Amino acid sequence: MISNLAEPLEVKSRAAIPELSEQLEKDLVQVFKLLSDETRLRILMYLIREGELHVTALCDKLGQSQPAVSHHLALLRVAGLIEARRDGKHNFYSIRAKHFHRLMKEIFEGMQDQEDEIRFEDFVLIHTP
């Protein structure tokens, strides 16, 4: 078991994990699987910084082919994390932050009697309204 060295193992208590609806659980699993891929995470970071980018710009930034980048974009779009806007012959992509924020909000709403944090073995997810 991995524990945070700042807290003795005996003192550590687990925050209650909220009961999740089946749909919320599926959405969260999908989002976290998508975020576990370095290329998709980098795409999201570029989109957060730039606001909106087209596929060619993402290909240049990532050093990857158009089919590879388009595949990652399609997965992110199907999951609802990004959206596309067509302008001429380019598709411009941007973040759908509201979708991700909604998922996180639903998690913490299920913890009404708990603190606004969920402790994992090596990190803490904190909600600040």
Binning pLDDT at 50, 70 and 90, where does residue 22 land? confident
Over residues 10-20, the pLDDT tens digits come to 444 444 555 66
Binning pLDDT at 50, 70 and 90, where does residue 120 land? low
Higher pLDDT, 93 or 125: 93
Query: Which among 33, 61, 36 has a CA at the least distance from the CA of 48?
Result: 61
Higher pLDDT, 30 or 5: 30
> Does pLDDT of 83 surpass 60?
yes
Q: Which CA distances in Å does 74 have to 89, 96, 125?
A: 17, 14, 27
Q: What is the pLDDT of residue 72?
A: 96
Number of residues in the chain: 129
Question: Does the predicted model carry a pTM greater than 0.85?
Answer: no
| Amino acid identity at 48 | I
Please report the domains of the chain, with CATH numbers, ordered by start residue: 22-126 (1.10.10.10)
> Does pLDDT of 37 surpass 50?
yes
Q: What is the pLDDT of residue 4?
A: 46
Name the range with the highest mean pLDDT among 10-19, 86-95, 103-112: 86-95
Residue 107 to residue 49: CA distance in whole angstroms: 26
Binning pLDDT at 50, 70 and 90, where does residue 123 land? low
Q: Give yes or no for a contact between 80 and 98, defined as CB atoms under 8 angstroms apart.
A: no
Residue 81 to residue 48: CA distance in whole angstroms: 11
Q: Give yes or no for a contact between 40 and 72, defined as CB atoms under 8 angstroms apart.
A: yes
Tokens found for residue 13: 């208590």
